[in-house]
Structure 1
Amino acid sequence: MSGNSKTASDMWDLILSIASSSLIFVVFKGYSRFRVNTFYAIIGNYLTACSVGFIFFPRTLSLPEIPGKPWFLPAVALGVLFIVIFNLMARTSQQLGVSVASVATKMSLVIPVVAGVVLYGEVLGPIKIAGIALALVAVYFASVKTRKVSWEPRLLYLPALVFLGSGIIDTSIKYLEETRIPDAEYPLFSACIFGAAGTTGILVTALRKPRELFTWRPRNLLGGLALGIPNFFSIYFLLKALQFDGLTSAAIFTLNNVGIVTLTTLLGIAFFGEKLSARNWLGVGLALVSIAIISS
């Protein structure tokens, strides 16, 4: 594969990761319309994503081989962290508002950016640093949908944990991609993350409300199926995009987060008639400028 075609392929991996993550937003918005129970659909989504990973794995593999993989235990830990962070995001949204949860999640890109510089010696020139700083401003303006954001001091631990957990997930994915996962095993690694998340959700349900394990409705199963497919590909294509030779991991994570915020904002307008404030539009504009700077 020539350099130009490899670069184009890597860029498409990043675009597809952004598109898959943004499609998750569309599915979530549809849950309220079709009265889907979010918690059970989330569990179904993880099990669906796990199944997709096994389907896409390019060779036959016996199940007893999987725990021997060097990335297996980290994948299980990430799966547990996935569902923990999801629940923290839900609590943050309920207690402090959706805008706070969104900002905490997207601002977490600072953690993998710093990790890229410290762990991998990535060099960020003044222009790239300016682009990343602009991206952070863009994420804030585009994400905050209300004029007043609640920052109740006694509850600040919630967005702090969301920020930290989301950053750890991204940083861990990069580290494992760099050190432990062969290219051909990306689907299997992703499947194990989602399998661990789904299993954790089932165990929590069994402990808290065991009867509800047997009362799943078809709409919840369909909601999980619709969410699980793009969820799998959001991780799969991100892993592939992190191999992009032309950009540092700091740039990849920044472009990924800013791209998701921008595309989900535009999808909200196109499909759900969402109204944006002048500040939100400013965020979208700044996001596009930051993308141009970082990818140049």
Structure 2
Amino acid sequence: MTPGLSYLLASVTCSVAVAAMLKLARRWQVDVRQAIMVNHAVAALLCWLLLRPDPATLLTPQTPWAVLLTLGLLLPSGFMAMALAVRHAGVVRSDAAQRLSLFIPLLAAFLLFGEPVSARKLGAIALAFAALFCLLRRPARTGEAPGPGNHAGTDVAPGRALWMWPLAVWVAYGLVDILFKQMARAGTAFAGGLLLAFALSSALMLAYLSWRRAAWAPRHLAAGVALGAVNFGNIITYIRAHQALPDHPALVFASMNMGVITLGTLVGALVFREPLSRLNGLGLALALAAILLMAPW
């Protein structure tokens, strides 16, 4: 296997592993808020150690602090939405919603930044919205919330939570993507912006938890270290995949997004026994088609 494909496989695995860890947090009695706070601190540290941002570029008059502060709020909020989504709607829908969020910045490019509209991109957006509709529909038979002895751990809930939290994931991650693009437009280096965003996210989450008088416990913090390592593993291996395959950005883009949806479906269905209807299956197929159509071939 070539280095580029190895990085892609590792990135896909890390992305789905994040969702699986959030899914297991309730069973392991982990306070997800504390884990998310430590996750961002670990990601900031690993960003500093591995991406080595230039300190001179971090604090300049051009630093877009409003964008960074908004990211500091949105990143942990998106993680919390993801935790609630995998708990109530399952890994399959949550991972698919996260990957479909890439169409929000595409819409923003048309509506806010004056990017030319093309039939291919409009078709991809239409497929993405159709996929989201199908994915968020309640399956014909929903599993009951698990009792202590339910080994499968299926936690798919009926009603509003089934679609509300994946929809929140879709919106939150889409807005995060727009804000990172705004940072790039402001001239902020990627590594430096990522470091500042993670550091601010951790600091704001720490302030929130202190205000809420959270009951700190080592297992919550240890879970956050593991979550942060896997989360940053997803980021760094995705970057390395692009670096290893510089002439094939479409391959990296499509393989990453389709790989996460495919592996997330397998993990959700086989490991967590999440119920899916035929309409949900159609939604997954439409999501894959939208990503293929969107890829910059």
TM-score (norm 1): 0.69
Matched, 1:172 2:179: yes
Which residue is equivalent to 1:5?
none
User: What's the counterpart of residue 40 of structure 2?
Assistant: 46
**1:194 corresponds to which letter in structure 2?**
F
Equivalence for 2:20:
26
Counterparts of 2:41 and 2:188, CA distance in 1? 21
Which amino acid in structure 2 is aligned with residue 35 of structure 1? Q
Question: Which protein is richer in helix relative to its size?
Answer: 1
Aligned CA distance change for structure 1 residues 223 and 160 (closer, same or farther; 3 Å):
closer
- Unmatched 5+ stretches in structure 2: 143-157
Q: For 2:64 and 2:138, locate their aligned partners in 1 and report how far apart those are by CA, in whole Å.
A: 39
Structure 2: distance between partners of 1:195 and 1:274: 35
For 1:267, the equivalent position in structure 2 comes to 267
Q: Identify which of 117, 121, 125 aligns with 1:128.
A: 121
Paired AA for residue 21 in structure 1: S
Comparing 38-47 with 124-133, which one deviates more in the overlay? Answer: 124-133
- Give distance in 1, aligned partners of 2:112 and 2:6: 26
**Correspondences of 1:222-233 after superposition (within 5 Å):** 222-233=222-233
Mapped to 1, the partners of 2:181 and 2:12 lie a distance apart of: 16
Shift of 1:49: 0.9
**Pairs within 5 Å for 1:188-203:** 188-203=192-207
Q: Is the 8 A contact 1:174 1:242 kept in 2?
A: no
Change (3 A) 1:76 1:14: farther
Structure 2 residue identity aligned to 1:46: H
Instruction: Tell me what 1:55 maps to.
Output: 49
**Could you list the per-position Cα deviations for residues 240-269 of structure 1 after superposition, in whole angstroms to 9, with x for gaps in the alignment?**
899989879xxx6x9876664443222223
Work out whether residues 32 and 83 of structure 2, in 8 Å CA contact, stay in contact via their aligned partners in 1: no
Distance 1:245 1:24, change over 3 A: same
Aligned partner of residue 276 in structure 2, secondary structure:
coil
Contact 1:48–1:229 (CA<8 Å) still a contact in 2? yes
One-letter amino acid of the structure 2 residue matched with residue 47 of structure 1? A
Give the aligned residue type for 1:187.
A
* Percent of aligned positions that are identical: 26
C-alpha contact (below 8 Å) 1:187/1:236 kept by paired residues: no
Aligned to 1:187: 191
Q: 1:138 to 1:13 in 2, by over 3 A?
A: farther
1:126, CA displacement in angstroms?
1.8
Query: Structure 1: which 5+ runs fail to align?
Result: 1-7
Superposed, 1:26-105 pairs within 5 Å as 26-58=20-52, 61=55, 66-68=58-60, 70-71=62-63, 73=65, 74-87=67-80, 98=89, 102=94
Q: Distance in 2 between matches of 1:245 and 1:116?
A: 24
Aligned letter for 1:52? L
Name the Cα RMSD after superposition: 4.3
Structure 2 counterpart of 1:4: none
CA positional deviation for 1:209: 0.7
Q: Does 1:204 align with 2:196?
A: no
Per the TM alignment, residue 13 of structure 1 is displaced from its structure 2 partner at its CA by 7.9
TM-score by length of 2: 0.69
- What is the deviation of 1:226? 1.7
CA deviation vs aligned residue, 1:54-79 (integer Å, no higher than 9, x gap)? 111336748xx733373362324311
Quote the Cα distance in structure 2 between the aligned partners of 1:70 and 1:140.
Answer: 40
For the 8 Å contact 1:31–1:37, the answer to whether it is kept is yes
Residues 76 and 192, structure 1, Cα contact 8 Å, conserved in 2 = no
Query: 2:32 touches 2:80 (CA, 8 Å); kept in 1?
Result: no
Alpha-carbon distance, 1:270 to partner: 4.0
Return the letter of the residue paired with 2:32: T
